[in-house]
Structure formats: C-alpha cells, structure tokens
C-alpha cells in the first residue's frame, strides 16, 4: 500500500514526556478542571506508569503555570485568568511571525504540500462546525511552520505560550472562522513567494484577531 506523507512523524517519548503531554492536555481541554485536586497515584494508574514520571511531570507543569503544588497538602490545577490572554497573544503573534519569516529559507515542496493539506483539513473541520478539531488542526498548521524555521529557542518559547493560549480558547469556547482559513492560504502563498513584510503582517493579524473576544 502507498505510505502517506502528509502527516506529523511520530517521535518516541519517555514516560515523563508522555505523562506531561497527557496531563497538560487534560488540563487544557477541561478533563481536569480549574481548581481540581490531583492525586499522583490515580494519575499514574490512569497513564499506566509509575508515580515518578507523574511527579516529575507535575513539577514541570507547575513551572509552566498549569498546576500549583502545596507540599504536604495538595496539588491542584490552576484557575484560568481570562485577562491573561491579552498578555499571551501579542508575544505569541510576534514569535509566530518571526518563525514564518525564518521558515522561508527552509521551505520545500513537501512542506508546502503539507501546509496545503493541513489547511484543507482545517477548512473541512471549520465548515462542518467541528471547532474542537479545528483548534487542534490550526495548531498543527502553525507547528509545521515553527518546525520549518529550525530555531529551538523560538520553538521552546512557543510551546509554552501556545499551550496556555489553547487552554484559554477551549475554556472560553473561541470559534475559529472562515477568515482563519483565508489567512492560512495567504500565509502559504506569501511564504512561497518570499514576501516577508506582508507575511509578518498577516501572521500577526491571524493571532491577534481574537484578542477582543476575551
């Protein structure tokens, strides 16, 4: 059978990384609610790992602001501060814009094809009103660009910012629209043609458009 190429390549992760990613996702999508107390034994059982990677994951999540740890008492999910999005989106927009500019020099036909197919999937999700899937695919689209930029410092900063923004979007039921689909097509075209100034403008607008909804 032909092997598809338009997918994100799997990466082997450690038990701690898997635990971190899953717990963070549960916090982001509301499976674990703001203020909810966390039990490392229960989390370990649910994830099929020992308590050690769970405890290490919770420490990382505390450093990133997703949980609060009270030694000898409890660990709980942090509350959502709605106004925080106004501080989160501007730096995220600036870094995403810079990533797009840097990605231009590393573009290949394969990457352009992957961006195109990802935006087609995004459009399908939005038009079928599957907004949860749309948010996830939108993140995949931008992650392709960030990966293409090949800058580990930007990548690390964006991972943290993006996770907090995603949590805000899920909990505040922010809906992406047809305008986001159009932005993506413009971004692909501007990257392809190397139009950095216009690319920076469109990328920032794509991220800052929803700031007034909070």
pTM for the model: 0.82
The CATH H-level superfamily of 82-213 is GntR ligand-binding domain-like (1.20.120.530)
pLDDT at 104: 97
pLDDT at 12: 58
Sequence-distant (≥ 6) Cβ neighbours of residue 60 within 8 angstroms: 20
User: CATH 1.10.10.10 spans which residues of the chain?
Assistant: 15-77
Q: Residues in the chain with pLDDT < 50?
A: 1-11
Residues 150-168 pLDDT 10s: 999 999 899 889 999 989 9
Distance of CA 54 to the CA centre of its chain: 21
Q: Which fold has domain 15-77?
A: Arc Repressor Mutant, subunit A (1.10.10)
pLDDT at 4: 39
User: CATH 1.20.120.530 spans which residues of the chain?
Assistant: 82-213
pLDDT at 10: 45
pLDDT at 214: 66
Sequence-distant (≥ 6) Cβ neighbours of residue 5 within 8 angstroms: 110, 113, 114
State the first-to-last Cα distance of the chain, in angstroms, to the nearest integer.
47
Q: What is the rounded radius of gyration, in angstroms, for the C-alpha atoms of the chain?
A: 18
């Amino acid at each position: 059978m032909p092997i598809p190429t338009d997918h994100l390549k799997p990466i082997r992760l450690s038990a701690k990384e898997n635990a971190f990613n899953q717990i963070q996702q549960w916090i982001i999508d509301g499976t674990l609610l703001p203020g909810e107390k966390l039990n490392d034994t229960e989390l370990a059982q649910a994830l099929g790992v020992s308590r050690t990677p769970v405890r290490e994951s919770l420490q990382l999540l505390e450093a990133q602001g997703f949980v609060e740890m009270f030694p000898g008492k409890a660990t709980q999910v942090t509350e959502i501060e709605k106004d925080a999005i106004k501080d989160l989106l501007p730096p995220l927009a600036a870094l995403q814009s810079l990533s797009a500019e840097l990605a231009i020099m590393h573009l290949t036909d394969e990457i352009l094809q992957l961006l195109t197919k990802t935006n087609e999937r995004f459009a399908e999700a939005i038009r079928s009103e599957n907004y949860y899937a749309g948010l996830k695919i939108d993140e995949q689209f931008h992650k392709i660009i960030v990966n293409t930029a090949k800058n580990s410092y930007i990548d690390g900063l964006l991972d943290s910012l993006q996770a907090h923004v995603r949590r805000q979007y899920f909990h505040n039921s922010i809906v992406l629209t047809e305008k986001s689909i159009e932005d993506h097509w413009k971004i692909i075209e501007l990257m392809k043609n190397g139009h950095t100034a216009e690319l920076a403008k469109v990328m920032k607008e794509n991220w800052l458009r929803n700031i007034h909804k909070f």
